[in-house]
Amino acid sequence: MSDHYIFSRGRLKRKHNTIYFESGEEGQKALPVERVDNLHIFGEVDLNSKLLNLLTKYDVRLHFYNYYGFYTGTYYPRTKNVSGFTVAQQSMHYLDPKKRYYMASAFVESGVHHMLRNLRRHKEKTGSYVDTIQAERVKIPDGRTIPELMGVEGRIRQTYYRSFNEILKSDFIFTKRSKQPPADPLNALISFGNSLMYTTVLAEVYKTALDPTVSFLHEPSSKRFSLSLDVAEIFKPLIVDPLIVSLVNNRVIGKKHFEDFEGIVLLNDQGKQRFIQEWEKKLATTVRHRTLKRKVSYRMFIRLECYKMIKHFIGDEPYRPLKAWW
């Protein structure tokens, strides 16, 4: 099972148990449905209910991105891994302020751990940034409200992003975080990577009994799957940020891979394809799990995090967020 990405205009259709993508630019491409886990659509693609029925049968998710490469929504099959008890307990942890703060602070603490892990790889250049982040980090367990916690996390992240100017070897410069739209190539890379991270987490949450709309750090909303935003806080500095540094410093992606639309800077199709190629390699990379005693991929670490949350909600085992040891 793997993810597939479609960039050009065309049509997705079903023929027996195979998905076909037809495009005037690329011809016809066959995707056996048994080998597909997620489809990511970046172009303008037509499809019909026959295709959706096939995707539902084989539990394939369809993620859509707009013209600018921002995630806009997901078609996902009817939930199979349902547990009313788990969802009830998850909701109770949201409604209890102390229990909610415990979960929210765990996500932030894990994310900060991975930020510092990245900076310490360049300790000769980033010592002052590490010290500043450490000074903020001690406030995480002492916070009283979620907004205060998010304030701490926001200050840490701003310091962390400024350190990129010391780490990146090219003329990719961080001035300030601009999300929608990105104002420069570095922000475009961060936004694109974070969108992929969000949908990857969402796909793994769907495979468990968790409710993706009940979250703890980010306020639950009727317009987003906010639990995915929570869990992504753990994995953005573990997966997205090191990938960006590698792509830039190894000149896999350069300024020619971006387009400027009146101040909106975005990756072009070639840039997206290069990013995604390395993204898939990163998700497939394995690490020997010190508890399971076997190799686990980065993608599987995300699902294991979901299982740990379920155990916490139902009272089996306290949640301890991932802190990479390798």
Q: Tell me the DSSP string of 260-309.
A: EETTEEEE-HHHHHHHHHHHHHHHH-EEE-TTT-SEEEHHHHHHHHHHHH
User: How is residue 65 written in tokens?
Assistant: 């991105």
Q: In sequence order, which ranges of 79-184 are alpha helices (DSSP H)?
A: 84-95, 97-120, 123-137, 146-162, 164-167
User: CB 173: neighbour CB atoms within 10 A?
Assistant: 11
Gap between the Cα atoms of 112 and 106, Å rounded: 10
pLDDT at 222: 63
pLDDT of 146 strictly over 80? yes
Mean residue pLDDT across the chain = 93
Q: How many CA atoms lie within 13 A of 9 on its CB side?
A: 2
**Residue 238 DSSP symbol:** I
Across the range 153-181, mean pLDDT stands at 92
Enumerate the β-bridge partners of residue 21: 12, 29
**What was the pLDDT predicted at 290?**
93
pLDDT in tens, 66-124: 877 788 889 988 766 778 999 999 999 999 999 999 999 999 999 999 999 999 999 99
What integer pLDDT is reported at residue 275 of this predicted model?
A: 97
Full-model pTM: 0.90
